Amino acid sequence: MKRLKFFIGAAALAAVALTASPEAFAQEDGNRDENGKIVRGPYETNRFGDNWFVSAGGGVDLFMNKGYKTKVGLDLDANVGKWFTPSVGMRIGYSGVNANCWADTPSELGRTLDTDKDLYQQKFGYMYIHGDFLWNSSNAIGGYKETRFWSVIPYAHAGFFRTYGLDGVDFSNNELAMGIGTLHSLRLTERLAMTIDMKTTFVNGRVHDADGVAMLSSVTMGLAVNLGWPGFLRTSTVLTAVETATAGEIAALEAAAVALEGSNVGLAKDNAQLQKQNTNLTKQMTTLQKEEVVLEAAADLSGYSPATVYFNIGKTVLAPDEMQHLDYIAKHILAKVNEQGKVYITVMGSADSNTGGQKRNQTLSAARGKYIADMLTGKYGIPADRLVVKSEVVKATADPQLDRAVVFTF
């Protein structure tokens, strides 16, 4: 018994000493820069499925409380966890099997007297469901190194502690518990490591029908398996250059950034001017295309122009036969003109100079042009904005009747 206590105490002291001594890790050739300086990050955030692990182990435990003598019990551990950075992780776990101690007086957990020791042995089962906060001091102090053989990982834990009677003893108790521990991880392969887990748990003495605060110390040995991608990537390439730059280099970089910003402003102005010019050119091209369509349409209609209707002397309305003539022109010629888009129709009213005075003839020519224009808009549906109405008194020809007319051109 004394040898076992000595072994556990020595292992615990060694773990504490290693955890508290940065030199123990600095001697290992971890991540160093070209000057031999240890580099400790930063690191890229890992994906959800990366850096998981599961572990299991078995060993012994010692249950202690004031007024009781210790006795070795059996302990099994099972854990699942994840590393968020090379130094920080969490896990949830199960610990338990049984615990033992010697008491001076009988209790529900121990009523049989051991005559050799003159003590009552308490033996009970327990299980401890706990969550652990892990700190990999080897990576934190010595810098992350994927191939490091020995990592020392102190942790704090808390959870639900349950005890129960064995061999037909009717007893159970539930308490909250917490404590500290040190996990030693020995790398075997990229996926596999051997673990030595030393843990101390503090819990209310009611868990074994006693007063005070009880302490359960355990040492287990087992294996851990890494799941997902097990490594970490450093993001120091750019950051280190900025962090180690001199004041002069930083000032030069800032000046270059200002110059680039000024260049960008100038380029933005040039780009805006070019866009404006491009918009204007597009508008001009659109206008030219429309004019080209109009010219093509006018060329297609050249065979129909001019068209003419004739008036009787002194009249501003058409005779029935000329009304039929106008109807044909409007439906078969002017309708085609109207379909061509913006092709303007000139309505020219005229009167001959041999009949009547100048003023009378001017009135007749204007009235004839307006009459025809009204007919075209009102009866035949040609838009008024497509008509250009003019009037004139023409010089007499050999046949004055031909001068009393309205002529359509387009």
Of 177, 166, 167, the closest CA to residue 205 belongs to 177
Contacts of 60 (CB under 8 A, 6+ apart): 4, 72, 73, 74, 75, 218, 219
DSSP summary character for residue 65: -
Q: Which residue has the higher pLDDT, 192 or 279?
A: 192
Rg (CA), the chain: 53
pLDDT for 83-128, tens place per residue? 999 999 999 999 999 998 888 888 888 777 887 888 888 889 999 9
Handedness of CA 197, 201, 207, 211 (dihedral sign): positive
Count how many Cα atoms sit within 13 Å of the Cα of residue 222 in the half-sphere of its side chain: 20
Provide the pLDDT confidence category of residue 20 given band limits of 50, 70 and 90: very low
End-to-end CA distance of the chain: 124
CB contact at 8 A, 196 and 184:
yes
CB contact at 8 A, 142 and 30:
yes
Architecture (CATH level 2) of domain 302-409:
2-Layer Sandwich (3.30)
Of 79, 14, 18, 86, the closest CA to residue 50 belongs to 86
Contacts of 134 (CB under 8 A, 6+ apart): 81, 83, 88, 89, 90, 91, 153, 155, 183
Q: Pick 2-240's CATH classification: 2.40.160.20, 1.10.565.10, 1.20.1730.10, 2.40.30.10.
A: 2.40.160.20
Q: What is the pLDDT of residue 316?
A: 83
Burial class (CB in 10 A: 0-12, 13-18, 19+), 150: middle
Instruction: Tell me: pLDDT of 24 over 60.
Output: no
Q: Each residue of 358-388: b (16+ CB within 10 Å) or e?
A: eeebbbbbbbbbbbbbebbeeeeebeeebbe
Instruction: Tell me: pLDDT of 341 over 70.
Output: no
DSSP string, 343-370: --EEEEEEEETTSS-HHHHHHHHHHHHH
Of 198, 212, 112, 216, the closest CA to residue 162 belongs to 216
Q: What is the pLDDT of residue 342?
A: 60
Residue 183, beta-bridge partner list:
153, 197
Predicted TM-score of the model (pTM): 0.51
Domain limits, the chain: 2-240, 245-291, 302-409
pLDDT for 275-324, tens place per residue? 888 888 888 787 777 655 554 544 455 556 678 888 888 888 888 888 88
Provide the pLDDT confidence category of residue 7 given band limits of 50, 70 and 90: very low
Q: Each residue of 9-45: b (16+ CB within 10 Å) or e?
A: eeebeebeebbeeeebbeeeebbeeeeeebebbebee
State the average pLDDT for the chain: 81
pLDDT for 247-279, tens place per residue? 778 888 888 888 888 888 888 888 888 888 888
Provide the pLDDT confidence category of residue 381 given band limits of 50, 70 and 90: confident
pLDDT for 44-85, tens place per residue? 778 899 999 999 999 999 999 988 888 899 999 999 999 999
DSSP summary character for residue 340: T
